[in-house]
Amino acid sequence: MKRNVPVLVLVTAFLLLLFLTAALLVGCGGPGEEKNGGSGGRDDRAQADYDDGFSRGRADGYERGRDDGIEGRYDPQAPEMKGANEDYLLGYAEGWSVGYEEGHADGEKEAASGENELAEVEAAMIAFVKRNAAPGLEFRIEHIVIQGDEAVGRAVCTSERLESPYVVMKRGASGWLGVDFGTGIEPPAWYPY
């Protein structure tokens, strides 16, 4: 009979473990209680605060990330916030991270696009200036500013000492087209140089 005692202890322990596992899986609440332990919507409020924080953080993060992407910086650190509840702050931090990455990627694309456009305008300006200048002169373009579908720059002669005339271009269906070139012209009011 001594041999049956350890088996009986093992069977009892196994049944107790099975009972506890079933109790944990089913839960302790009765059939009418809410899923979240009968808290009366506490988790709903927490989720709403989190969602609000996430939404705001994503918008703020996107804006900062886009600016950083355009300027060639990468600093995804969310600003420190105080005075909000912890669910909102958690949502804000996670939203910031997502928004920053999205904005940074878009900013980098925008910067690359702007650099490509700047190179395109510069090439068109040099070609326009060479067609309208004395043969044999070489130029580089400085202070290019693009405003909508207009661009202005200064043509600097690199082969002789001459004045630096303004070059005015306009974007057309086939690319950038020369509008005006010379020292006696007035640049548009928005041109800062």
Per-residue model confidence as pLDDT tens digits over 28-76? 554 444 444 444 456 899 999 999 999 999 999 999 999 999 888 999 9
Instruction: Give a yes or no: residue 144 inside a domain.
Output: yes
* pTM of this structure: 0.47
Q: Say how far apart CA 170 and CA 81 lie, in whole Å.
A: 47
Examine the pLDDT at 8 and tell me if it is beyond 90.
no
| H or E element in which residue 61 lies | helix 42-71
pLDDT at 156 over 50: yes
Mean of all residue pLDDT scores within the chain: 83
Largest CA distance in the chain: 119
Residue 79 lies in a domain: yes
Q: What is the mean pLDDT of residues 100-123?
A: 87
Please tell me whether residues 101 and 146 are part of one structural domain: no
The answer to the question of residue 26 being in a domain is: no
Residue 122 near residue 139, CB atoms below 8 Å: no
Distance separating alpha carbons of residues 28 and 31, to the nearest angstrom: 10
Query: d(Cα 111, Cα 66) in Å, to the nearest integer?
Result: 10
Backbone angles phi, psi at 76, to 5 degrees: -80, 10
Domain carrying residue 135: 119-182
Domain count, the chain: 2
Last residue of a domain, one of 58, 93, 113: 113
Averaged pLDDT, 8-12: 66
Task: For residue 55, count other CB atoms closer than 10 A to its CB.
Answer: 14
Residue 39: the pLDDT is: 47
Do 102 and 130 belong to one domain?
no
Say if 33 falls within a structural domain.
Answer: no
22: in domain: no
Question: Which single residue is written with the structure tokens 């202890």?
Answer: 9
